[in-house]
A and B are shown apart, each in its own frame.
Chain A
Amino acid sequence: DAGVIQSPRHEVTEMGQEVTLRCKPISGHNSLFWYRQTMMRGLELLIYFNNNVPIDDSGMPEDRFSAKMPNASFSTLKIQPSEPRDSAVYFCATCSRDRNSPLHFGNGTRLTVT
């Protein structure tokens, strides 16, 4: 298995632009988590899905952030409009709740908003 695949690996954009981060979970995994990591705040859970349904989005910082999981093999995290304070590494992680399996992380997307 190729693991959790995130794209792009790096994204540099100007303030005000829309940013879309993508995640492909490991096949068979039915839980998906979006995390953000910064030096100041460490790892923060933004939102997680179970069987494509958003379960808890209380970590989403504000309305500029939105996440979707249209099917079991794809999720997006969108920021519109982006701001410099959104600069961070965004991780996607997946696991199978049914099999009580380990959590696996993608390699992350490093976002820089100038």
Chain B
Amino acid sequence: GIQVEQSPPDLILQEGANSTLRCNFSDSVNNLQWFHQNPWGQLINLFYIPSGTKQNGRLSATTVATERYSLLYISSSQTTDSGVYFCVFISNFGNEKLTFGTGTRLTIIP
């Protein structure tokens, strides 16, 4: 099956620090999303990014489909950034399954 690996599994940072989260996938991507699951359990869509780079405030994401990875950058982190970050891999357009990565647990310390 398709493998979606995220790194690091855990990350603890001081407020204000920058971080880079990585998602590697084993097959050609049709599309990829980044989600943030906050401490209340809500899954929030951050980016829908099959290729290229997108930015939204302090967050940005880059997907290099030819090299089968995606990166999520968080700058000037805040305590509200804490939670688990998932990448979701979509392989083929059609009756495909979505494959979740194992997640990166980010803890921002005040």
Give chain A's interface residues, CB within 8 Å of chain B: 33, 37, 42-43, 45, 48, 50, 55-56, 89, 91, 93, 97, 100-105, 107-108, 110
- CB-CB nearest in chain A for B46: A102
Are B45 and A43 touching (Cβ within 8 A)?
A: no
Q: A97-B93, A100-B93 are in contact. Are A107 and B42 (CB under 8 A)?
A: yes
Q: State which of B14-22, B56-64, B69-77, B95-103 sits at the interface with chain A.
A: B95-103
Are B45 and A45 touching (Cβ within 8 A)?
A: no
B33-54 to A contact mask, C-beta < 8 Å, 1/0? 1010000011101001000000
Give chain B's interface residues, CB within 8 Å of chain A: 30-31, 33, 35, 41-43, 45, 48, 86, 88, 93-95, 97-98, 100, 102-103
Are B86 and A43 touching (Cβ within 8 A)?
A: yes
Name B98's contact: one of A42, A45, A101, A108 (CB within 8 Å).
Answer: A45
Q: With both chains docked as a complex, state the minimum distance between the C-beta of A91 and any C-beta of chain B, in angstroms.
A: 7
Cα distance A55–B95 in the bound complex, in angstroms: 7
Q: Which A residues are CB-close (under 8 A) to B45?
A: 102-105
